Structure 1
Amino acid sequence: MKKQWTLLAAAAMLALSGCGGNGNDGGNTQGHTATAVTTEQGDTAHMNHSTSSELPEGMKEAVNPKFNIGSEAIMKTNHMPGMDGAVATIAGAYETTAYSISYTPVTGGERVTDHKWIVQEEIKDAKASPYESGADITVTADHMPGMKGAVATIDSAEPTTVYMVDYTPTTGGDPVHNHKWVTESELAPVK
């Protein structure tokens, strides 16, 4: 029983520390991304609020996106709790290829599987054409602890418009600003 409480306390501390940010963001939560990692004990938790609002070098704004900057859309995805069904305000729209990846954090720990999303411009020395499923790449994105510099395997690739969005989680809590990334297929018009 003591071991279970110790594991529970450790998981809670990990989850809380991942949500803290570094205090340099002026109160904004940027690039809010989460991925569930299942341990052998069955716990799931792996969340981070990236503090960078910078775009990767080479990002190209979408010329005619389905959702314009400043408009609202309903999110139909659950990269993290409270996203599915939340009303998002579009903060940016970019043409690229979005990738779902699996990787082991450079900081150690459990392998992260099916992390959605990184984009073509977040791959070290990216080639001009999209990568195929199964390709190994080096990640330059810093969405999660231990992601930057990790060697990842591409699970899927989707040429699409990706959106940076602001939203308030349906589960409550502080508004999230500049979440990177939501694909066009994960958004629906507000009715």
Structure 2
Amino acid sequence: MNTSTPLTTIAAVAAASALLLSGCASSEGDEAAQHSQHEKQSEAASGEDHGESHEHASDGGQPPKGIEKASDPTYAVGDEVTLTADHMPGMKGAKATISGAFETTTYSVSYTPTDDGDPVKDHKWVVHEELKNPGKAPLKDGAKVTLNADHMPGMKGAKATIDGSTDETVYMVDVDTGDMAITNHKWVTEDEVQPVK
């Protein structure tokens, strides 16, 4: 009985192993490249164009429970204004009508949608009353929160990070961006609104 392994068998096993290992290395390299490409796409989607990738509802609905109406806002309900905000395509420079004015802390947030959508960076805006068990306002930059806001698909229930905050008067507006008519759009702040000229 021959107990030695032929050299051709050893060479074949070694060659197969080398091919398998090189295949794994190639696959891992491809995955890293794909992940890098996905991150670039996510960053692009969460920049200027995040309004396109995460459409706002055509009716923003009622203000959240517990939010206080502004006692003496610069712009009253029914006032016509021009928006300087650029939250979505067609918004900057659009004419709008104030549909609500409120006193609260308003936050910009970064979050990953619950519907597996691309991460959204610096979303403007959510108000303190749209956070789950937020504690006392204002929250510090970097605070971790859960969103109760439902402005866009995948937003409600998402984990978010506070990027910044303001205590300016915040407004709901009815606006026609050219692509879409939105009732009770949430939110624009005092410095994102100016009188119609």
1:39 aligned to 37, 41, 54, which one?
41
Match of 1:177 in 2: 183
**Which runs of structure 2 are paired with 1:29-178 in the superposition (5 Å)?**
39=41, 44=49, 45-50=52-57, 51-169=59-177, 172-178=178-184
Q: In the aligned structure 1, how far is the partner of 2:173 from the partner of 2:42?
A: 34
Query: Which is richer in strand?
Result: 1
Deviation at 1:140, TM superposition (A): 0.4
TM-score, normalising length from structure 1?
Answer: 0.74
Which piece of structure 1 moves more, 101-110 or 61-70?
101-110
Q: In the aligned structure 2, how far is the partner of 1:54 from the partner of 1:96?
A: 16
Deviation at 1:175, TM superposition (A): 2.4
SS where residue 167 of structure 2 aligns? strand
Deviation at 1:189, TM superposition (A): 1.3
Deviation at 1:129, TM superposition (A): 2.2
Query: Which is richer in helix?
Result: 2
Aligned-residue identity in percent = 48
Q: In the aligned structure 2, how far is the partner of 1:127 from the partner of 1:41?
A: 31
Q: In the aligned structure 1, how far is the partner of 2:89 from the partner of 2:179?
A: 11
- Higher Cα radius of gyration: 2
Checking the alignment, whether the CA contact within 8 Å between 2:60 and 2:186 is kept in structure 1 is: no
Q: Which runs of 5+ in 1 are unaligned?
A: 1-36
TM-score, normalising length from structure 2?
Answer: 0.72
Q: In the aligned structure 2, how far is the partner of 1:95 from the partner of 1:154?
A: 19
Q: In the aligned structure 2, how far is the partner of 1:38 from the partner of 1:64?
A: 44
Match of 2:20 in 1: none
Checking the alignment, whether the CA contact within 8 Å between 2:105 and 2:137 is kept in structure 1 is: no
- Count of aligned pairs between the two proteins: 153
Rate the CA distance shift 1:48–1:155 in 2: closer, same or farther, 3 A: same
Q: In the aligned structure 2, how far is the partner of 1:41 from the partner of 1:57?
A: 33
Rate the CA distance shift 1:41–1:126 in 2: closer, same or farther, 3 A: closer
Q: Which runs of 5+ in 2 are unaligned?
A: 1-38
> How large is the RMSD of aligned CA atoms in angstroms?
1.9
Q: In the aligned structure 2, how far is the partner of 1:168 from the partner of 1:104?
A: 27
